[in-house]
Structure 1
Amino acid sequence: MRKLLFIFLLILISCNSKPTKPRVLILSDINNIGGDPDDKQSMAHLFMYANEVDIVGIIPDLWEGKGVEATIQTITAYEQDYKNPDYNFKELSYPEPDYLRDQIAKNKTEAIQKIIAEAKAENERPLHILIWGNMNTMRDALNTAPEIAENIRIYTIATHRMAANEDAQQHSKDTTDFGIRRNWNNPGRDEIHYDPQFKNLWWLENDWAYNAMFEGAEPKEFLNEIKEYGTLGNYIWEVVQPHDWARYFRAGDTPTLLYFLEPGVDINDPTSSSWAGKYIKPFPEERPNYWIDDAGIEDWNYANPENTWNNFNQVYQNRLEGLMLKRAEWYEDYRQKMKELYSK
């Protein structure tokens, strides 16, 4: 009897010490008019892990691109698996499909209201905002209610951040195909980054490391595994089939979610290497809560990367390596997640 009581107490302690699920709100440029289908893959991947995070908002803010409709399509695929008695979504405490639908902001006004309301909600957990597109909506929410900055943490995909002046563009064009492009999430980005009232904003910016999602033969092979798991797995496979260049598991926004998924990682410390890559605090005094993927060399100007663009190739490889080192490990975790969901 005493032994049974001891075991019960151990179980109770274990349950009570389990970390609470992080509150996440997603901003995505998911759409039905073209672009990169990886946005749909990233959303579907999120739903496969929807019992490990607390989804409190979904903002498909490419409104003119039928982003709401694209999000609902992804939830519909999720719903078919959720209601399938041969699968384990309900047993594993996944959210109801209608709950996910209710989290969708239907327009810009709703989006700003949702961000502000969740940021101001009485909750001991911070609001983690995963931004999978431009930052206009985030900028507008912050400008509407600047006080929410102290209650949120943002995670962004930057896409080769660099200066916009013509000299920098031309110099980088001589080095890489990426040089002629400005960071695609730039709309809204710089207005937040250089606004003094947001200098303490908690911000993890994935500049180049996310490209490791695309490297090598493994993502193509892995896509063929994923498609065997339910309607949602087939959806992840199906959405890239119209594009010859995208027929693999790209899910380029997924590293922002991976940051929360690796067991044992301290999400309060981005400098510890994780499935999401390796990060550094480049401006500890000016921006004490800002992190970006580690360039891996001393001779790299984080503030004005075009000034050290001759090191682009080395830095690019270093940043990819931060995520590549653990990609096989999180692939295996994903395999186990799918087996857990889809096997009785």
Structure 2
Amino acid sequence: MRQRTYNLISTSILYLMFVSVGQAQSVFNVIPLGVKGGGAEGNLSAYMVAPVNSQAYVCLDGGTVRQGIEVAVANGAFAATADQVSRSFVKGFLISHAHLDHVSGMITNAPEDTAKFIYAFPKCLEIIKNHYFNWESWPNFGSEGVNPLKKYTYKPLSEGQDIPLENTEMTLKTFSLSHGNPYESAAFLIQTNGKQVLYFGDTGPDEVEKSTKLQKVWEAVAPLIKAKTLTGIFMEVSYPNEQPDNKLFGHLTPNWLMKEMEKLAVLAGKENMRDLRVIITHIKPAGQNEIIIKGQLESNNALGLKIIYPEQGTAFEL
């Protein structure tokens, strides 16, 4: 009887240790509101991210917002209404660049929204202010410009600067990207409790863009991969390998993504790249693109990356 009791206690301790480790490994909760590139009107780039067990999210880009939240609520991602999620859970938008497939949901849903922050590079904020929130394209819900309604407060970003994300438990560091040189996009490194997740807006490969911007990001995050604190990388693959380099328009193919991952592996160590989670975003919806891109990624994954294809409204943890 004593031995049986000891075995039960030992089993319980091992179970609790396993659960504790599993919980420690999940740091961020992610709700994809939109996962496609331009053309998929109701499913465009936007990802809600918060620490696990927190309801204070930021939205990475804002292509599709309300419709994505409604899908997420229907899928059980939230124990709340779409109105509550949209108005109360989202504390701010991190906008990588001002192309319509990354901002249209944020803009069109502004009339029903509550006060929030928009984080972006100054040029991106200028485009939002001058071309969208200008009382011609849409009422000015921004904090600057012509007769501002001041619902959204602009937060200009500086490359490499660590800042708090207001009303959340997260901090942000931003990197400049080339999205069809000289057009600027951004990558966001979000941190909480000593762990990070990295989100890329649209970007082309350094070799095609005649740039070193991606290399600078790899140099910055390689130590985090070595330390096993980077929980995942969101990165776009818009076109299949058949797309010519001169028709990439600042985007990636499976081959170019893997070439950039190889550059990262040189800095981080190939042994540390295995099972690194890479979340594929912004696949263009035309034709058989998605099927082709998935096949090309899976057949060229020599590094053993854990490739994730997010689905609209389906929550996952990193």
TM-score, length basis structure 2: 0.36
Bigger share in strand: 2
Bigger share in helix: 1
TM-score, length basis structure 1: 0.34
